[in-house]
Amino acid sequence: MTNFRWMEELPAERHREFHALYSGEWWTKERSFEDVTHMLAHCDLLLFCLDADGRIAGFARVLSDFTFKAVIFDVIVAEQHRGQGLGLALVERILSHENLKRVKSFELYCPERLVPFYEKLGFVKGTSSLLFNQP
Domain ranges in the chain are 5-109
Confidence of residue 1 (pLDDT cuts 50, 70, 90): low
Identify the CATH number of the domain defined by range 5-109: 3.40.630.30
Partners of 63 in beta bridges: 71
pLDDT tens-digit profile of 27-84?
999 999 999 999 999 999 999 999 999 999 999 999 999 999 999 999 999 999 999 9
Whether pLDDT at 133 is above 90: no
State the pLDDT at residue 30: 95
**Residue 128: helix, strand or coil by DSSP?**
coil
Average pLDDT, the chain: 94
Q: Which residues of 91-128 are buried (b: 16+ CB within 10 A; e: fewer)?
A: bebbbebeebeebeebebeeeeeeeeebeeeebeeeee
Residue positions annotated with a catalytic role: 118
Record the pTM.
0.92
Q: What is the CA radius of gyration of the chain?
A: 15
